[in-house]
Structure 1
Amino acid sequence: MTFGVFLAVLAAAFLHALWNALIKVGTSKAGGMVILSIAEIPIGLTIAMFCPWPKPEVWWWILASGCTHFCYKSFLVFAYERGDLSRVYPIARGAAPMVVALVGAFTLADAISTREYLGIAVLGAGILLMARGVFTRGEDRRLLPFALGSACATATYTMIDGLGARVSGDAVAYVAWVFVADGLIFTTGMLLWKGAGVIPRDGRAWGLATFASAASYGAYAVSVWAMTVAPLAVVAALRETSILFAVLIGWLAFGEKMGVEKAVAALVIVAGVVLTRL
């Protein structure tokens, strides 16, 4: 991996943490996520215009991914309504690869190495340490099931998208239509659930959430590009520095409490993820 690609992947990791931070900082987490989802639709359609039309059997995978993204975003919103970015993000982001590895060991043909099992154990230890801080510091315990629910949804759509992209044969087109499906399903679902009042009316909320959507796409686009010019496993592992970026943003920008235990837990989670990805 060249130094330029290294910096690009770090930038993608920062963008992923940033769009989560922008959703967290908004007064209405659900409203911000709706605006982000609305902005995803033209992004996906623009990319899809330059790609072949998906095969009929691919649409079922796209629909399944869109529905799972609805669960992912909903759980994430509920978690951010109850907890700090520096607490929720590491649990939600870190637990996902652990779930993928554990479930994949029984449902997918890909073999799990000894190192990956070690990574799962380290991940589990880091997540338990991070979760312990919720109890010792008197934080809202309800953030835990929502953060873990977000992680399970992430793990689910990761496996759906991995298989769906293989069926599609065109990963770029597949992801473009997933963006469209995700945006339409989440926006429609939240409007039916909470009504039109869920959409913020102030320009600042629209600006922040639209920028968050652009950051979300940028994080993904840079990562995909990096995987074409550098080893996939190295790129995937380096992306997980987003956990550290989220912890730093929460601490430095939002003034969230940063004890030794939380910092160590974040580092352990990153180490576990790297072990499962390399």
Structure 2
Amino acid sequence: MTPLVTAAVLLAAVTHASWNAIAHRITDKLVGFTLILAGGVLIGLALVPFAALPAAAAWPYLLCSAAIHVVYVVLLMASFRLGDFGQAYPIARGTAPLVVTVFAAVFAHEVPDRWAAAGIALSCAGLTGVALWGLRGRRPNRAAIGAALATGLSIASYTVVDGLGVRASGSPLGYTAWLMVVQGVVIPAYAVRRWRGKTVALLRPFAALGLFGAFLSVSAYGLVLWAQTRAALAPIAALRESSVKPCSCSNSTAGQRA
């Protein structure tokens, strides 16, 4: 990883932490993710005219990633509903780089050297330690931990799929734009159907906050996708998850209100 790639991933980590902090402030998680995903669709559509269309070889990856992202959002909301934010989120993000390492070795033929492997292991151990520290003196919620682990698996899956897809696309910006458009439709459509005539009333109080979160979310993931075209997937995944430490310090009861 060059200094430029490292700086880009660290900036993505800060941006990722920021949009997660914004999402965390919106107590109704369906409202928060609806605004962020719908905002991502609008940003993606705005970027499409200025970016090259991804190559044909990238579209199977892009469509697969969009489906996995929808599963990820559903699992993440379930994790927040079942357990504390401070437990679920570090488990989900902390397990992902280890799975990315395995998936990248199998599907991208990227095997980290000893130093990279040690760094990945240290990052995952630190993030898991955050969750274990939050569990001290309490009985673990197995359902919440299971949902968090499943969330981590979905994160690892879309990370590797997107890494392969963006490399095949020939246009990181175009891949980012179209991914935001395709993945961002399902959850907002479900929310509108569920809320029926209440949609505007539910979204209006958080609209500005949610749209700002969407901008940060797209920026963060766009930087990661660009970095994946220039460095191995597993170290990028581990470095990106440094964003979890500030996120996990938030009020841990929000997940129970989701």
Output the TM-score relative to the length of structure 2. Answer: 0.78
Aligned-pair CA distance for 1:137: 2.0
What are the within-5 Å matches in structure 2 for residues 28-67 of structure 1? 28-67=28-67
2:144 aligned with 1:147: no
Cα deviation code 1:25-81 (max 9, x no counterpart)? 323112211111111111111111111223334332221111110011111111122
Letter in 2 for 1:143: A
Letter in 2 for 1:32: G
2:22 aligned with 1:22: yes
- Residue number in structure 2 paired with 1:242: 243
CA contact (8 A) 2:23 2:33 kept: yes
- Residue number in structure 1 paired with 2:138: 137
C-alpha spacing 1:235/1:56, structure 2 compared with 1 (3 Å): closer
Distance 2:237 2:107 in 1: 21
What runs of 5+ residues in structure 2 fail to find an aligned partner? 254-258
- Residue number in structure 2 paired with 1:273: none
CA contact (8 A) 2:176 2:222 kept: no
Distance 1:100 1:178 in 2: 20
What are the within-5 Å matches in structure 2 for residues 62-77 of structure 1? 62-77=62-77
What runs of 5+ residues in structure 1 fail to find an aligned partner? 257-278
Identity value in percent: 31
CA contact (8 A) 1:61 1:164 kept: yes
C-alpha spacing 1:244/1:132, structure 2 compared with 1 (3 Å): closer
What are the within-5 Å matches in structure 2 for residues 59-208 of structure 1? 59-119=59-119, 121-122=121-122, 123=124, 127=128, 130-131=131-132, 133-134=134-135, 136-138=137-139, 140-191=141-192, 194=194, 196=196, 199=199, 201-202=201-202, 203-208=204-209
Instruction: Give every structure 1 segment of 4 or more consecutive aligned residues whose post-TM-superposition deviation is greater than 4 Å.
Output: 8-11, 119-122, 189-192, 197-200, 221-238
Distance 1:232 1:61 in 2: 15
Output the TM-score relative to the length of structure 1. Answer: 0.73
Distance 1:115 1:146 in 2: 31
C-alpha spacing 1:198/1:99, structure 2 compared with 1 (3 Å): farther
239-248 or 229-238, larger mean C-alpha shift: 229-238
C-alpha spacing 1:221/1:90, structure 2 compared with 1 (3 Å): same
Give me the CA root mean square deviation. 3.6
Letter in 2 for 1:217: V
The alignment of Structure 1 onto Structure 2 pairs a total of residues equal to: 249
Distance 1:239 1:65 in 2: 18
C-alpha spacing 1:218/1:57, structure 2 compared with 1 (3 Å): closer
CA contact (8 A) 1:92 1:151 kept: yes
C-alpha spacing 1:63/1:195, structure 2 compared with 1 (3 Å): farther
Letter in 1 for 2:165: G
Distance 2:178 2:242 in 1: 28
C-alpha spacing 1:63/1:222, structure 2 compared with 1 (3 Å): closer
113-122 or 155-164, larger mean C-alpha shift: 113-122
Report the secondary structure of 1:217's partner residue.
helix
Distance 2:112 2:62 in 1: 27
